[in-house]
Amino acid sequence: MFGVCSSRGSAIRLQKPLELILALCIWLIPSCAVAQFDHSIWDGLLKRHVLVIEGGRETRVDYDGMLMDRAVLEDYLERIASLDRREFDTWELSSQLAFLINTYNAWTVELILMEYPGIRSIRQIGFFPFSAWRRNIVNLFGNSHSLDDLEHGMIRGWGIYNEPRIHFAINCAAIGCPALRAEAYVGERLEE
């Protein structure tokens, strides 16, 4: 016998060196998984179609270009829709929040493209209480949600992110909203 290893509250008697190595590997795995979601599709779309102006204080979205790349955006949105909530829950909070921000922003662009080029403002899409932000268009975790659900129900409403700066990250596609960042958010650089 090589020793006793306690892993997650249970003692394991190790008979062989291979068992010791396996037990050490399991023990060293962090309890929060690193997000494996790839935002590179969204990042590429933002880099190609978001023009940064005023020294970074403003951005303009090239919706004509986004429309030409709509199949690429739809692929990204399908990947978002296929994510299992149980997997999402294993991620670090910064990766979860980055994912939800990117989801909100990508679906906002898609919402505009659903009506484009026939609109000049997102405010032309529906009227209160059926505004653009209340449409159940976001496919996430096996359900349809609205942009309001994402912002107020998940990002703010779950009570786990407690991030007052969220207003500066999500973009509602209106002039009075924060600028749409010309790159995707990722958990490991979210604080930057």
Q: What is the pLDDT of residues 9-38, one digit of tens each?
A: 444 454 565 554 544 444 444 444 555 799
pLDDT of residue 86: 96
Q: Alpha carbon of 103 to those of 26, 84, 98: distances in Å?
A: 32, 14, 8
Does pTM surpass 0.85? no
Residues 116-133 have a mean pLDDT of 73
Domain residue spans of the chain: 1-30, 40-189
Position 32 scores a pLDDT of: 46
Instruction: Give the model confidence (pLDDT) of 34-59 as tens digits.
Output: 557 999 999 999 999 999 998 878 89
pLDDT above 90 (res 66): yes
